Amino acid sequence: MLNNIALIIGVTLMYSTPLIFTALGGVVSEKSGVVNIGLEGMMVIGAFIAATVGYYSGNPWLAFLAGGLAGAFFGLLHAIASVSFSADQVVSGIAINFLGPGVALFLSRIFFNGATMTKSIDLDNKMPRLLNGIFHKDSFLYYILDNQYATTYIAFILVFVIWYILKKTVLGLRLKAVGEHPAAADTLGINVFKIRYLAVITSGFLAGLGGATLSISVVSNFRPTLVSGQGFIALAAMIFGKWKPVGAMLACLLFGLAQGLVVFLGQFQIQIPSQFLNMLPYILTLIVLVAFVGKSVAPLADGIPYEKEQKH
C-alpha cells in the first residue's frame, strides 16, 4: 500500500515538473501586465529544439538550455507584438500557439529526413537522475525519488527563486508595479517597456524549459502530440494559484496527481476505458477554471497595452 502511494507521488512529481516551469513563466509575464496565452507554442518549440540538440550533441544540459532559449525567442516575438506594437495580447498568444508547432514540424522535416518526430535520444544522454541508486530498492523514498530527473529539482528551486525575486527584490517590486499601474510606475522612472520585455522573454524561457523537460526527461524525443495542451493546463494552474509562484506550483502538483493516477490506474486491468482516464487532467482543468477563475484576481493592468502618451 505504501509503495503504491509512493509510486503515485513519484509519477506526480515527474508529470508536474514541466507544468511548474511553464506556470512560473505565466506568473512572471502576467505579473508585468502581459497575458501570455502562447505558453503552449513556447513549450512545443522548446521541446523540439531540446530533443534535436540533445540528439545531435549528446549533451542534455546544452539541450535543456537550448530549449529554454527557443522559448525565449518566441517570448521575444510575443513581446514585440504586445508591448512595442500594443497588439491584442490574446491574439498574439494564439498566433504563437500556431507558430510554435508549425515551426517545429517544419524544422523536424529538415533535420530528420522528412519525419515529423525526432529520433530518440540515447538513454545515457537524457537528463541525469540525481538520486538514482541512493535509496534501498523497494523502499518508500526509492519509489518517489529514484527516477526523478534533475529537472524536477530545478523546477522546485525556481519556485523559491521567483518567489524571492517577486517578494524581496527591487526588480520584483518594479515588475508588480508595472503590472498593477504602469502609468504610475512610469512617473517614478521605471521603464515599463523594458520590464515587460524582460518578463515576457523570461516567461518564454521558462515555458521552453517546460517543453524541454518533456522531450529530454519525461520521454526521449519530440513528437507532434507530446505537449498536447499542457501549456493551457499550466495557464489554468497559474490562475488557480492566484498568480503566485507557490500557488501555481501547488496547482501543478494537483494536475500532476491527475496524470499520476492515470498512469497508476493504467497498470491494472480495471473496467475503465483508457480514453476516459486520459481525459482526467483536462476534465480537472475545466472544473478548476469554472470553479475558481472568478475568485482569482489578476494584476490590474493584465492584458492592457501601455502607451506612454496615456501617461497623466
The whole-angstrom separation of Cα 214 and Cα 56 is: 17
Q: Which cell goes with 118?
A: 525526432
Say whether pLDDT at 80 is over 50: yes
Question: Which residues, in sequence order, are CB contacts of 229 under 8 Å at separation 6+?
Answer: 40, 282
Average pLDDT of the residues in 266-295: 71
Phi, psi of 264 (to 5 degrees): -65, -50
Burial class (CB in 10 A: 0-12, 13-18, 19+), 212: buried
Exposure class string for 292-301: b at 16+ Cβ within 10 A, else e: eeeeeebbeb
Average pLDDT of the residues in 160-171: 96
pLDDT, averaged across the chain? 91
* pLDDT: which is higher, 103 or 282: 103
pLDDT at 311: 42
Is the distance from CB of 34 to CB of 83 less than 8 angstroms?
A: yes
Is the distance from CB of 101 to CB of 94 less than 8 angstroms?
A: no
- Indicate yes or no: pTM above 0.85: yes
Is the distance from CB of 238 to CB of 34 less than 8 angstroms?
A: no
Question: Which residues, in sequence order, are CB contacts of 163 under 8 Å at separation 6+?
Answer: 244, 245, 246
pLDDT tens-digit readout, 234-261 = 999 999 899 999 999 999 999 898 888 8
Query: Looking at residue 108, which CATH number applies to its domain?
Result: 1.10.3470
pLDDT tens-digit readout, 287-298 = 877 776 666 688
Is the distance from CB of 190 to CB of 306 less than 8 angstroms?
A: no
Q: Which cell goes with 221?
A: 524525443
pLDDT at 268: 63
CA dihedral over 205, 75, 35, 302, signed as positive or negative: positive
Average pLDDT of the residues in 50-76: 97
Q: Which cell goes with 246?
A: 507557490
pLDDT at 260: 81
The whole-angstrom separation of Cα 265 and Cα 184 is: 53
* pLDDT: which is higher, 66 or 296: 66
pLDDT at 158: 98
Instruction: Provide the domain count of the chain.
Output: 1
Q: Which residue has the cell 515599463?
A: 192
Is the distance from CB of 200 to CB of 72 less than 8 angstroms?
A: no
Average pLDDT of the residues in 142-164: 94
Q: What is the span of the domain harbouring residue 144?
A: 2-310
Burial class (CB in 10 A: 0-12, 13-18, 19+), 228: middle
Instruction: List the single range of 7-21, 90-104, 289-303 with lowest mean pLDDT.
Output: 289-303
174: nearest Cα among 192, 153, 149, 154: 192
Say whether pLDDT at 309 is over 70: no
